[in-house]
Chains A and B, each alone.
Chain A
């Protein structure tokens, strides 16, 4: 069964540094999402992306965050200047058609020191 893949599985970064999290959505999917999950808490929506532009974003997704689909397969989340509170699991998800469930990757654990 096709999967959403995310790399790296664990990223450790110094506070203030830039970090890029990478996702390869399922190949024929068109809608892409980033979510985060702080340890022990619920999954929170960050941003959705379709047709090379942001569709929706949450209050969490401030000017320090950006997303990009640099080629036909990758979907990236960049945090420009990381803060301690950015430490979380970051999940990428995608869907192919209307009214389909979002399929999630296994996430990247981001640890800010």
Chain B
């Protein structure tokens, strides 16, 4: 089973570099996936989403890749900035178009100036 606790995976990057944050999801029937950014003391903030009939989606400075074969999501952030420092969560939706979200454990991104 999945471990729980206070330890979050951490990714430390230099300002201006590209960041890649990975996530494994659990349910092969999930049809919709979202990346959220959470800053200290704030709620999850929507970044980008992707439906299961796609394998790539691009936004402003962010790209999400979906590999359904291995149940893997990644978030790529181009030209990472200090303001990108936060905890990033992937979430999969279960139970249809208004279904609840199952969140991953999160990755802490630290951007060094």
Docked-complex contact B103 and A43, CB < 8 angstroms = yes
Partner of B100, one of A4, A6, A40, A48: A48
* Stretch in B14-22, B61-69, B91-99 touching the partner: B91-99
A102 to B49 CA separation, bound complex (whole angstroms): 11
Count residues on chain A whose CB falls below 8 Å from chain B CBs.
28
Are B104 and A33 touching (Cβ within 8 A)? Answer: no
Nearest neighbor of B41 in chain A, beta-carbon distance: A106
B32 at the interface (CB under 8 A from A): yes
By size class, the interface of chain B is 20 to 34
Per DSSP, are chain B's interface residues mostly helix, strand or loop, or mixed? loop
The answer to whether the Cβ of A70 comes within 8 Å of any Cβ in the partner chain is no
Instruction: State which of A14-22, A79-87, A93-101 sits at the interface with chain B.
Output: A93-101
With an 8 A cutoff between CB atoms, is A56 at the interface? yes
**Is A102 a contact partner of B101 (Cβ separation < 8 A)?**
yes
Contact A33–B100 (Cβ < 8 Å): yes
How far is it, in angstroms, between the C-alpha of A44 and the C-alpha of B105 when the chains are bound? 10
Chain B interfacial positions (CB closer than 8 Å to A): 4-8, 32, 34, 36, 41-46, 49, 51, 89, 91, 95, 97-106
A residues whose Cβ falls under 8 Å from a Cβ of B: 4, 6, 31, 33, 35, 39-45, 48, 50, 55-56, 58, 91, 95, 98-99, 101-107
- Counting from the closest, the 9 A-B pairs by CB-CB distance are A104-B43, A40-B6, A98-B97, A45-B100, A43-B103, A106-B43, A101-B46, A104-B44, A31-B98
Can you spell out 6 A-B residue pairs with CB atoms less than 8 angstroms apart? Answer: A101-B46, A102-B34, A102-B101, A106-B43, A107-B42, A107-B43
